[in-house]
Structure 1
């Protein structure tokens, strides 16, 4: 009988059997390479097969001991792996803060003057908001809350409540900018649409304040929080869209002209809104006001969706890459950017797309099973000419999922190649046989034979290879260790 590495233990192929719990449970991160691990062989005699590096500098190493059993060891950060220059730049900023407030890849990913500019912008904005707080108190006094000649306690208290509402809402923008800043370049159409959905939810809290005036501050704060989160999605997405419009380095002019359009719409909308509020039925009926708002809001969302689906991006993100490879695998054609954008569903989340592909998967998940020693060797050999490793995981249904981990020096083209292979496997499921490795080998042969034609057709359809923006997961990074010739003959042989 053949095992996962070539011999089957039972009648069902490995991609149809339920995935067992991994026998590679890792030791605690605090253990060193010489202290923990699995298997009964001598750790000092263990031979490294591959390792995974993580952003904090830790590494997970996979080793074969003297009994040819696979062990997993965590290794602590080795500061010598980082250049002295990088350490000098980053050492003064704690990692958690750096990841939250600075762009990914800083300082290499930005210009030299970025940090100095942002450090001066911060106090500039602080003083601006101090002025806003003081002016708010004056405005409230002007409309009758307190008085300059009498007591100003009421106006100050109202101003504090009003500013607190804005401050609580501002946390939403901090969260989005710090935690999700890498999302917008990939799919600005989706996040611009979701920004309006979230903003609509925030307006619902505002509408409920007349029903519960005693809870004005918490309701208004929740409304501002939701609208601030929406704004956190909206503004970066708008900037990406503006950059898409700019074909001759005129981004500033495009932004300025968009302000003209926006302010014109604002003036017209405010005028119509005032006329609607003057309507007697709306003034006297809260339910009529709510229904009017709901109708106008739904119309607003429909117009937003229509405006976004007309955008025709030439960049290749994950959704558009799926459309391109699916067309080539199934029909040996590649659509142009207009047809591709028209076929893109801007509201769909990646997790709901088929086939299901998981990027940046640790090797432990791929290797989970009994014959992992033989399996890891076969995978390393099978993908020796690729900068990634792809394996098939059987889900509860008959449709498999695809797990991908990336090696050092993987690029956007590596992600595109793994996408093509996954779609080929999904398209040719009827050809799969008892040995999943034979099926994978057949897909890699097809990849080698047809991927160049796919790239040629992309260029012929007007796609630019420099516009392929498929992000390689930051972690884990798979590093293959040196294997001697005897080990290759022993472990790679079938």
Structure 2
């Protein structure tokens, strides 16, 4: 960076000011990127804590990799440093937000404060040990980029593998699209609802998950659609529409009717079995990425509600 500033004609006295300006810009862009990311995620921090926690680790490792490669192209310091800072801010925000949800799953006796305190102590201890080991490894490796990459890449892979393994043992009792699909698949074949402990190791959190049930697609004429009690959830094969203010249990009923099960006579039994299995039926996150539809109830000439939806 210093050689770059000299190359564009800045004198020695100007270098500290220019360097400070670049540092401020990259930090500002990084924080702005983190804010935009957090605002776009919404309820996903609650519905997808394991996926976003792993994505946060990927963002952090990617940002560190960009830091290591930046000396190779000093003339791209500002864009690369800004990109790295954005990744680090995203990682920090995502890991902080998802950590709270994961701690909640571990608080079996309403001891969230105890869990958070112990997790913080473990994080601090790991950070101290990691810093010491980092100093030793850095002294052994040197400062050339190929040697740093040779040390960084395997350690980065080990860190991601360890996080993946720890995610697999976290038991999340709320229902999102993936967990609900797994529950419904078992119910359709065995007429039993698996427990959260059974579903946890079967979850996949690498890459985005796409459910077979589409939530709030464009609404057209649906001759086989079914209104769920309460009138705020409409279900058709492979589709479900959720209106603003719909109860989570009604969303669960609608998702059930839209799935491959589609046995209306079993819906109440299914909901009861979900709660008995230990799932939180009052926390169903399947429409967090969609705008809720608006339901306008009209009356026909005979005074009968037509349930117009838009």
TM-score band, normalised by shorter chain? 0.7 to 0.9
Deviation digits for residues 219-238 of structure 1, max 9, x if unmatched? 21211112212222221111
Counterpart-to-counterpart distance in 1, 2:280 and 2:69: 50
Name the counterpart of 2:227: 383
Q: Secondary structure at the match of 1:424?
A: coil
Aligned counterparts, 1:245-264, within 5 A: 245-264=106-125
Counterpart-to-counterpart distance in 2, 1:486 and 1:455: 33
Whether 1:217 aligns to 2:97 is no
Q: Secondary structure at the match of 2:71?
A: coil
Name the counterpart of 1:32: none
Whether 1:459 aligns to 2:275 is yes
Counterpart-to-counterpart distance in 2, 1:391 and 1:463: 24
Q: 1:303 to 1:212 in 2, by over 3 A?
A: same
Q: Which sections of structure 2, spanning at least 5 residues, go unmatched?
A: 1-11, 306-310
Q: 1:263 to 1:199 in 2, by over 3 A?
A: same
Counterpart-to-counterpart distance in 2, 1:409 and 1:161: 47
Counterpart-to-counterpart distance in 2, 1:335 and 1:180: 28
Deviation digits for residues 416-462 of structure 1, max 9, x if unmatched? 1222223236xxxxxxxxxxxxxxxxx4xx21x11222233223323
1:422 to 236, 247, 258: 258
Name the counterpart of 1:482: 299
Deviation at 1:302, TM superposition (A): 0.4
Residues 412, 470 of structure 1: 8 Å contact kept: no
1:167 to 20, 23, 28: 28
Whether 1:338 aligns to 2:203 is no
Aligned counterparts, 1:187-198, within 5 A: 187-198=48-59
Bigger radius of gyration among the two: 1
The TM-score, its normalising length taken from structure 2, stands at 0.83
Deviation digits for residues 340-398 of structure 1, max 9, x if unmatched? 212222235232x3xx22212232xx23xxxxxxx6xx457x53856433345xxxxxx
Q: Secondary structure at the match of 2:44?
A: coil
Counterpart-to-counterpart distance in 2, 1:168 and 1:277: 29
Aligned counterparts, 1:443-454, within 5 A: 443=262, 446-447=263-264, 449-454=265-270
Counterpart-to-counterpart distance in 1, 2:71 and 2:246: 56
Counterpart-to-counterpart distance in 1, 2:100 and 2:92: 12
Deviation at 1:300, TM superposition (A): 0.7
Whether 1:413 aligns to 2:249 is yes
Deviation at 1:478, TM superposition (A): 2.5
Higher RCO, Cα 8 Å, sep 6+:
1
Counterpart-to-counterpart distance in 1, 2:20 and 2:113: 36
Deviation at 1:265, TM superposition (A): 0.9
Question: How large is the Cα RMSD of the aligned pairs?
Answer: 2.7
1:240 to 92, 98, 101: 101
Name the counterpart of 2:142: 283
Deviation at 1:464, TM superposition (A): 4.3
2:182 to 301, 323, 330: 323
Give the aligned length: 292
Counterpart-to-counterpart distance in 1, 2:251 and 2:286: 6
Name the counterpart of 2:64: 203
Counterpart-to-counterpart distance in 1, 2:90 and 2:162: 21
2:218 to 356, 362, 371: 362
Counterpart-to-counterpart distance in 1, 2:207 and 2:144: 38
Deviation digits for residues 254-299 of structure 1, max 9, x if unmatched? 33322211111111111111111111xx216431221211111011
Residues 228, 250 of structure 2: 8 Å contact kept: no
Q: Which sections of structure 1, spanning at least 5 residues, go unmatched?
A: 1-150, 368-374, 393-401, 426-442, 489-494
The TM-score, its normalising length taken from structure 1, stands at 0.54
Q: Secondary structure at the match of 1:350?
A: coil
Q: 1:216 to 1:329 in 2, by over 3 A?
A: same
